[in-house]
Chain A
Amino acid sequence: MIDIYINNEKLSVSEGKTVLEVCREIGVSIPTFCYDERLKVEGSCRICVVEAEGSGKLLPSCATQVSPNMKILTHSPKVMRMRKRLLETMLSNHDVTCLQCEKAGQCQLQDYAYEYDVDIEKYQGRKGSQDFVASNKFFYLSRNKCILCGKCARICTQLQGNSVWAMSNRGFETEINTPFGMDMEEAGCVSCGNCVSNCPVGALMPKFTGEKFRTWDVEKTQTTCPYCGVGCQFYLLTKNGKVVGIEPMKEAVNHGLLCVKGRFAFHFINNKDRLRTPLIRKEGRLTEATWDEAYARIEEKISAIKQTYGPDSIGVLSSARVSTEENYLAQKLARAVIGTNNIDHCARLCHATSVSALSQVFGSGAMTNTFEEMKHADVIFIIGSNTTEAHPVIGTFVKIAKENGAKLIIADPREIPLREYADVYIPHDSGSDIALINGMLNHIITNKLYDQAFVEERTEGFDELVGVLDAYTPAKAAAIAGVEPDLIIQAAELYAKGPRSSIIYGMGIAQHANGVDGVCTLANLAMICGMIGKESTGINPLRGQNNVQGACDMGCLPDNYPGYQPVALGANREKFGKAWGVTLPDTTGLTATQMMEAGLKAMYIVGENPVISDPDAAHVQKVLQSLDFLVVQDIFLTETAAYADVVLPAASYAEKDGTFINSERRIQLIRPAIAPIGDAKPDYQILLEVMSRLGYENNLHTPEEIMQEITSVTPQYAGVTYPKIRRSNGIFWPIKAEEENGTRVLHSQSFSRGKGLILPVRYSPPAEETDSEYPIILTTGRVLYHYHTMTMTGKTQGLMEIAPEGYIEIHPENAARLNLSDGEEIRVVSRRGAIRAKAKLTDRIKEGIVFIPFHFKDTHVNVITNTAYDPTAKEPELKVCAVRLEKV
């Protein structure tokens, strides 16, 4: 600690801090333009100058470190004169149109001009170009308002990792531009809008999307993003019951960053197609009805079906999109009220294999480490995750880690965008993951690169693993995976060396008929190298939906009560039976995939759209059609709701309280920003009322009360309270009652199950292999600009302009054999059906493999995907099926 004087006040501060940081801590306000605590110090705008008492020198406070006995004046006459002159110079070529500028009220230039009494017309210079740069679909740049602080360019490079903006030319000609003024998308812009959110003036602004508002007109509500599993925090800006904009939050998991969906795709909330009243099928048609009529119909039909066919003739699908509390109620509705364990949700299609495998080998089926830690990893190994498109903000964290010196290994049959940052890129064949990882394991063990102490103290099963690995020398593994053996060796050596190596994976590992094995082999890799239980290491399955973690945690699984307490254990059944005051069914229920095979009589579907998202869509439609009774509770009349007998209008995340659990087990709040649209009700309220109609009283009214009941039956959640979540913007489970923030790193002392279980696995080929009739492998996935079945993203015009339709990625060699040209529509045929899609020729995909995004109705890829599923987790193999391509 050293002594310094700020405005004659003596302070004791730690060395290494800047004058600006110290001033901010003690509440002395200093203006800044180019400064951002997340960026490297630039010190170019000079507005933050302070005076060194004695010498009278003016120093940029952002770039000046404190030194012993330093005497600083922050608002001396000299400082004030300099700041005022700087502002007057900036205004000399600024288009001062504050009367109509959308930024007015939130513009730093405007605020400082007022604070420093500047003479706006003191200097009259040549105004900047009147041209707009408007090639982005979501925002535009007005150069005549730009003050050239360069923050946009530095944010894009240092935080987003894309480097789209350039500060080009020099002197008076200096301007913010894309290289050669090219279109933004062409320059690599992903429309995240992180530059826009941080522009201190009105130069970078969102495009008008139908609602004018002044910055002081809007209310701000902090909440959690409803898209992927990163759980970014932001503020919803609302005016007159309408969401008009979004602002990211800095003190949160996302560090003020968002992706294009989180930042700009909010138009679904107030969309005209939102369901506003309940609908009941009358004479074959869905007709508007009152809540009372809808509930009466549900009561009558569910009771009758339960009476006639038994409770196990009914299935409930809950949703990874709704809150944790609502998921808790959905499974309680199935178990305690209907009396069946037929409860599942779409995790069956994504990380059921992860939950199953990781629970078995570690004792806990979730991400072992947190996002923040990834930035400090020495090695990041990404397999089967297109991180920058499916979990964009984590993609940026990986780029930041890379910038910090981390080595990056990517294994993916497609050259995903992160491939450009990779030190080792392995283009292995779809479905050959186990061979590849086993090859790495073989090399690591043969060359004694593993952590012997960790293996001995913390794990069991190592010897069995060694026996199995003989068949997977790098050469043999490489032959199966279709890659060079050297790549496997390089990856193995990098990963094993660490010292902190982190594994990130996604659907490319999980969505396979041997998905559980795939996850186990990754766990083996982490365990033998001792890369688990420490910061910046671990096994990190990136979860696809905002609250898929919460839905799993709450036991929306046919074999688990809340907190992964198995239904099969009598003690658990007794515990929950007692807590809920009922006798619970003793057989485990059906998974989502099994429900489609079981000849159910009725289904209750909360916020899911299996018609588009599940494999073999034609079969799903047939099943839904054949049900005696189908209830769908959603915010839109989805393709699935179209088959319902009763449709219940639900409130969106912007209209209710509750919690979402992100992929790193962080429990965060959602808060109502507007009232529910029309007669819609929050899902928790609907579920409580339905349960009451079916004769079960909960005596619960608010999500906070529901959470209290959850904590009483869920050990991992014992310490969860809403005030704790509010205090630190999210807490991590497991959390004990006396803990404040919960656990960031899992398995640090011992594994949840005691010793980590090394389960040797053998490679098995995909359930469907290519043959002469179906010679091509089809794989599926997401694109950056859409989310799942597009019920939400499809309502945002800009996204539809960038990504209006589906397509099929084909390697030029494969296209040449069929004489296909880019953009040509072709037929894609599998054993289950055929679809049409436009060909997109690209050498970023391996020869022999094609890719179709699963979002689009016009290229409804799940018509042709395979339903073959993992024997343990019952997760279908959406990542591999055999197809043939036909010219139309």
Chain B
Amino acid sequence: MKNEEEKQIILDIIREHSEGPSSLVQVLTLIQEEHGYLPMNVQQLVAQEMKIPFSRVFEVTSFYSRFTTEQKGKYEISVCLGTACYVKGAQGILDEIKRRLNIEENQTTEDGLFSLVASRCIGACALAPAMIINKNVFGLLTKQKLTEVLAMYTESNAEV
């Protein structure tokens, strides 16, 4: 949260969707969708506005792997490491992405284009090994297919 404008957007989300402590996860999800990540000052703002202790907000964001406190790349690659994908070689896919983008898990490329996370089962077992980039699922991955998908994002640098 870098300026008043961003703050206002977050405040609007909180005010519209906050219905007491039980709506915390929903509010955080919506803020992350809008803002991209949940840094300390955003979590403090949520705590203050929703009258929930800061430590509780932090507990929740640190518990769910889908919440992040780091700024994400424009495209977030989420490689499924669920059982089916793992058996079908997902670890190799993950390692290959790390090598090509030159980043580790939970990091973002210098140009801000890609970030990488490993996720639990995404429910696309029939397509194993699979990954999600933003909201798009790519299945039956091979190194060849990986090249194509990454190239598509890098070259067009556009939403798919």
Which residues of A are in contact with B by a Cβ distance under 8 Å? 153, 157, 163-170, 178-180, 182, 187-188
Contacts of A167 in B (CB 8 A): 59
Contacts of B151 in A (CB 8 A): none
- In the complex, the chain B residue whose C-beta lies closest to that of A171 is B63
A170, B55: Cα distance in complex, Å:
15
**Given contact pairs A179-B40, A179-B43, A180-B40, A187 touches B55 in the complex (Cβ within 8 A):** yes
Q: List 12 A-B contacts (CB under 8 A).
A: A157-B53, A157-B56, A163-B53, A164-B55, A166-B55, A166-B56, A166-B59, A168-B58, A169-B62, A180-B69, A182-B40, A187-B54
A170, B61: Cα distance in complex, Å:
11
Cβ–Cβ contact B63 & A165, under 8 A: no
Determine which of A153, A169, A180, A182 lies in contact with B63 in the assembled complex, contact meaning CB atoms within 8 Å: A169
Determine which of B43, B56, B63 lies in contact with A170 in the assembled complex, contact meaning CB atoms within 8 Å: B63
Cβ–Cβ contact A165 & B55, under 8 A: yes
A153, B58: Cα distance in complex, Å:
13
**Given contact pairs A179-B40, A179-B43, A180-B40, A168 touches B62 in the complex (Cβ within 8 A):** yes
**Given contact pairs A179-B40, A179-B43, A180-B40, A153 touches B55 in the complex (Cβ within 8 A):** yes
A164, B59: Cα distance in complex, Å:
11
Cβ–Cβ contact A179 & B54, under 8 A: yes
B64-106 vs A, CB cutoff 8 Å, 1 = contact: the mask equals 0000010000000000000000000000000000000000000
Cβ–Cβ contact B55 & A163, under 8 A: yes
Contacts of B62 in A (CB 8 A): 166, 168-170
5 A-B pairs with the lowest CB-CB distances in the bound complex, closest first: A163-B53, A179-B58, A166-B55, A168-B62, A166-B59
Cβ–Cβ contact B54 & A168, under 8 A: no
Contacts of A166 in B (CB 8 A): 55-56, 58-59, 62
A187, B43: Cα distance in complex, Å:
13
Cβ–Cβ contact B56 & A163, under 8 A: yes
Chain B: residues with Cβ within 8 Å of the partner, total of 12
Contacts of A164 in B (CB 8 A): 55
Contacts of A163 in B (CB 8 A): 53-56
Grouping DSSP codes into helix (H, G, I), strand (E, B) and loop, the A interface class, with mixed when no group exceeds half, is loop
Report B120 CB to chain A, min CB distance, Å. 11
- Of A157, A168, A179, most buried by chain B (CB within 10 Å of CB) is A179
A157, B56: Cα distance in complex, Å:
10
A163, B62: Cα distance in complex, Å:
16
A153, B59: Cα distance in complex, Å:
11
A180, B56: Cα distance in complex, Å:
12
Contacts of A168 in B (CB 8 A): 58-59, 62-63
- In the complex, the chain A residue whose C-beta lies closest to that of B62 is A168
A169, B61: Cα distance in complex, Å:
8
- Given contacts A157-B55, A179-B43, A180-B69, 7 further A-B pairs with CB under 8 A are A157-B56, A163-B53, A166-B62, A168-B58, A170-B63, A179-B58, A180-B40
Contacts of A178 in B (CB 8 A): 55
Report A608 CB to chain B, min CB distance, Å. 41
Report A741 CB to chain B, min CB distance, Å. 37
A163, B59: Cα distance in complex, Å:
11
A153, B54: Cα distance in complex, Å:
12
Contacts of B53 in A (CB 8 A): 157, 163
- Of B40, B43, B53, most buried by chain A (CB within 10 Å of CB) is B53
Report B40 CB to chain A, min CB distance, Å. 5
A471, B59: Cα distance in complex, Å:
53
B33-54 vs A, CB cutoff 8 Å, 1 = contact: the mask equals 0000000100100000000011
Report B138 CB to chain A, min CB distance, Å. 28
Report A561 CB to chain B, min CB distance, Å. 51
Cβ–Cβ contact A179 & B55, under 8 A: yes
A399, B43: Cα distance in complex, Å:
23
A188, B48: Cα distance in complex, Å:
13
A163, B69: Cα distance in complex, Å:
21
- In the complex, the chain B residue whose C-beta lies closest to that of A173 is B62
- In the complex, the chain B residue whose C-beta lies closest to that of A180 is B40
Report A403 CB to chain B, min CB distance, Å. 12
Report A160 CB to chain B, min CB distance, Å. 11
A178, B40: Cα distance in complex, Å:
12
- In the complex, the chain B residue whose C-beta lies closest to that of A168 is B62
**Given contact pairs A169-B63, A170-B63, A180 touches B58 in the complex (Cβ within 8 A):** yes
Contacts of B59 in A (CB 8 A): 166-168
A188, B69: Cα distance in complex, Å:
21
A180, B39: Cα distance in complex, Å:
9
A170, B59: Cα distance in complex, Å:
9
A182, B62: Cα distance in complex, Å:
14
Contacts of A180 in B (CB 8 A): 40, 58, 69
- In the complex, the chain B residue whose C-beta lies closest to that of A170 is B63
Report A520 CB to chain B, min CB distance, Å. 36
A188, B55: Cα distance in complex, Å:
10
A633, B48: Cα distance in complex, Å:
50
Report B122 CB to chain A, min CB distance, Å. 19
Contacts of B69 in A (CB 8 A): 180
A179, B54: Cα distance in complex, Å:
7
- In the complex, the chain A residue whose C-beta lies closest to that of B58 is A179
Contacts of A165 in B (CB 8 A): 55
A614, B40: Cα distance in complex, Å:
46
A165, B53: Cα distance in complex, Å:
10
Report A188 CB to chain B, min CB distance, Å. 8
- Of B43, B55, B56, B69, most buried by chain A (CB within 10 Å of CB) is B55
B128-148 vs A, CB cutoff 8 Å, 1 = contact: the mask equals 000000000000000000000
Report B159 CB to chain A, min CB distance, Å. 32
A163, B54: Cα distance in complex, Å:
8
A374, B141: Cα distance in complex, Å:
65
A182, B55: Cα distance in complex, Å:
11
- In the complex, the chain B residue whose C-beta lies closest to that of A169 is B62
- Of A164, A167, A180, most buried by chain B (CB within 10 Å of CB) is A180
Contacts of B63 in A (CB 8 A): 168-170
- Of B56, B59, B63, most buried by chain A (CB within 10 Å of CB) is B59
A168, B53: Cα distance in complex, Å:
14
Report A454 CB to chain B, min CB distance, Å. 35
Contacts of A179 in B (CB 8 A): 40, 43, 54-55, 57-58
Report B82 CB to chain A, min CB distance, Å. 16
Report B139 CB to chain A, min CB distance, Å. 27
Contacts of B56 in A (CB 8 A): 157, 163, 166
A164, B53: Cα distance in complex, Å:
8
A182, B41: Cα distance in complex, Å:
12
A187, B56: Cα distance in complex, Å:
12
A794, B90: Cα distance in complex, Å:
62
Report A416 CB to chain B, min CB distance, Å. 17
Report A573 CB to chain B, min CB distance, Å. 59
- In the complex, the chain B residue whose C-beta lies closest to that of A166 is B55
A180, B57: Cα distance in complex, Å:
11
Contacts of A188 in B (CB 8 A): 54
A416, B53: Cα distance in complex, Å:
18
Report A152 CB to chain B, min CB distance, Å. 11
- Of B43, B56, B62, most buried by chain A (CB within 10 Å of CB) is B62
Contacts of B58 in A (CB 8 A): 166, 168, 179-180
A742, B62: Cα distance in complex, Å:
52
Contacts of A157 in B (CB 8 A): 53, 55-56
Report B59 CB to chain A, min CB distance, Å. 5
Contacts of B43 in A (CB 8 A): 179
Report B81 CB to chain A, min CB distance, Å. 14
A169, B63: Cα distance in complex, Å:
5
